[in-house]
Structure 1
């Protein structure tokens, strides 16, 4: 059976993608591109389950403090669901992926797409003006609380209890 050139190229591309994913290991998951039309996907995958959304940027020094806190919290609460959303452009994807791998937050990772930042921020939260870090605590019933700035240890506990993640 002869394969057409198009089918051969498609098969080679699929093999290359699969091989690259397998070679990178289980932590090297794809960072999805966030746009206003797919904003609902960010929360839909967690329907009925509490989770934390971390909004951050590569150039945000304070965001890294929240990453340190999340690392400690994940050790304490292994079932803690984290979604990250980088406000950086898709051109910064390699750096975003590298940082997320370093802090072990490659699952449920997103990066801002090509739409204007104002539109993307509005899709996340119409009341959010872009200050960072920004952390959202989602309850299983869909209610959420947004917090701007670095979160103290006691405040992490308070917000996680509100969301039904910690007791």
Structure 2
């Protein structure tokens, strides 16, 4: 009987540990050289915006905030975030998660993986030199238009009309 109580106690403890993890925000995915193809494929032919940002870019934060506000108004606005901060920096990952969670945009998040940053920037756009904020507005066919600058409601309306 004593052994049964210990087993039940262990099972309850294990369930308590697993339960919070099931409600945790999805992990930020590593963006590697094949990342653009993976992102486009994950959107399954729906229009979306890929916003490239970093923790130290103030204008990026303004763009993310605007996208979060507009996303609440427009259910058809699909946002994918890509941070140029590295996933191997635990402190940066914690800050990225916190920032995206505060905006309710943690669901489809990517960050630079193990490949050199120059290679990853080239994989995003061979003509892009790293200025931020940068966004890519994809139509249902997977064709994109690049935009450099702060994202405003007017920019969203231009690239993603209702």
Unaligned runs of 5+ in 2: 1-14
Task: Note the C-alpha offset of 1:17.
Answer: 8.5
Show the counterpart of 1:44.
41
Determine if the alignment matches structure 1 residue 70 to structure 2 residue 54: no
CA RMSD of aligned residues (A): 2.0
TM-score norm. by structure 2 comes to 0.82
Show the counterpart of 2:103.
103
Aligned residues: 146
C-alpha spacing 1:16/1:97, structure 2 compared with 1 (3 Å): farther
Task: Note the C-alpha offset of 1:156.
Answer: 1.9
User: 3-state SS of the aligned residue for 2:59?
Assistant: helix
Q: Tell me if structure 2 keeps the 8 A contact 1:50–1:138.
A: yes
Task: Note the C-alpha offset of 1:114.
Answer: 2.0
Determine if the alignment matches structure 1 residue 160 to structure 2 residue 160: yes
Show the counterpart of 1:137.
137
